[in-house]
Amino acid sequence: GSILKLDALDYHYSEEDLFIHHVEATEHFQQLIMKEDVENLKRKLAYWIALIRETRYKPQVVREWGLKILLDLRMKIRSLQYFETRFSEEVVHQNLFWVESLDHFQDMMWTQLADLLHVVQYINTSSKRREIIEAQRYVMEHLHEKISMSEVAQRLHLNASYFSRLFKKETNENFVDYVLRLKMERACEYLDHSDYSIEQISDRLGFDSKSYFIRTFRREIGMLPTAYRHKT
C-alpha cells in the first residue's frame, strides 16, 4: 500500500493519464450508489484501486482524480432534490493531501462514497414524491438512450400531462430541460476527460445524429464541441 508514499523520491511512477478513466469510474460509482448496491460499490472501488496500484500513477494525480470524482458525484446526487450533504470539499481535499498509502486512499474514498450512499437512501425513504426520484434515477441511468417524457410517465403509471406538471412543481425545472441538462453535463465530461470522438459522444448520449448533437451542444453550451474540447 505504499505506492502513494511521497517520500519515495526514487520510485518510478507511470506517465499514463489516469483522468482518461474519470468518466467511466464516475458512472460506475453513480449507478451503484443510485441502486444502493453496497457490495458492488465496494468491489468497484477495489477494482479501481487495483488498477491504480498496478499502473503506478503519480500520487498527486491519484489525489486529484479522487477529489474530482467525489465532487462530480456530490453534484449529481445533490441534483435529485437540491439536497445538501455533509461533504466538504475543503475537508476532503485536506484529507487527500495527507494520504500516505493507497490503502489509506481507499479507506478515505469509501468513507465519502458511503456518505453519498446514505444520502440517496435517505432521499428514497423520506421523499413525499417518490415518483420524481424514480424519474430522476431513470434518467441518470439511461442517459445513453433517447428519453421521452411519455415513456417515463408510462413507467411510473402516470398521465404524461400530470407528470409534466408534477415534475415542474417539485423540481422547478421542466422534465425535458432536466434531461437535456444532464446530457450536456455528461457531454462536457466526455469532452474534458475522454478520447471519444464527437460522433461517439453523440451515440453514447442517445442523439439521433452527430449533426443534431452538435447543434444542441452549441445552443446549450454556447460553443461547438470541438471548441469546448480545445478550450484553455
Place of cell 500513477: 57
So what's the pLDDT on residue 82? 46
Which CATH number does the domain housing residue 216 bear? 1.10.10.60
Q: Are residues 29 and 86 in the same domain?
A: yes
Q: Are residues 109 and 21 in the same domain?
A: yes
Cell numbers for 63: 489525489
Q: Are residues 118 and 24 in the same domain?
A: yes
Rounded average pLDDT over 101-107:
90
pTM, to two decimals: 0.69
Q: Residue 121 phi/psi, 5° resolution?
A: -60, -40
So what's the pLDDT on residue 93? 73
Q: Are residues 109 and 157 in the same domain?
A: no
Q: Are residues 18 and 109 in the same domain?
A: yes
Show Cβ contacts of residue 72 under 8 Å, excluding neighbours closer than 6 positions. Answer: 26, 189
125 vs 231, more confident: 231
214 vs 23, more confident: 214
Domain boundary among 101, 126, 151: 126
So what's the pLDDT on residue 3? 45
Q: Are residues 154 and 189 in the same domain?
A: yes
What is the count of structural domains for the chain?
2
So what's the pLDDT on residue 131? 86
Q: Are residues 117 and 207 in the same domain?
A: no
Q: Tens digits of per-residue pLDDT, 47-98?
A: 999 999 999 998 889 999 999 999 888 888 776 654 445 556 676 777 777 7
So what's the pLDDT on residue 10? 47
Check if the beta carbon of residue 220 is closer than 8 Å to that of residue 176. no
What whole-number percentage of the chain has pLDDT above 70?
88
Q: Are residues 115 and 163 in the same domain?
A: no
Domain boundary among 126, 159, 177: 126
Q: Are residues 141 and 216 in the same domain?
A: yes
So what's the pLDDT on residue 212? 96
Q: Are residues 49 and 32 in the same domain?
A: yes
Check if the beta carbon of residue 126 is closer than 8 Å to that of residue 136. no
Which domain, by its residues, includes 192?
A: 130-229
Check if the beta carbon of residue 214 is closer than 8 Å to that of residue 222. no
Q: Are residues 134 and 225 in the same domain?
A: yes
So what's the pLDDT on residue 53? 92
Cell numbers for 211: 449533426
What whole-number percentage of the chain has pLDDT above 90?
53
So what's the pLDDT on residue 5? 52
Domain boundary among 76, 111, 126: 126
Q: Tens digits of per-residue pLDDT, 167-223?
A: 998 888 999 999 999 999 999 989 988 889 999 999 999 999 999 999 999 999 999
Q: Are residues 120 and 136 in the same domain?
A: no
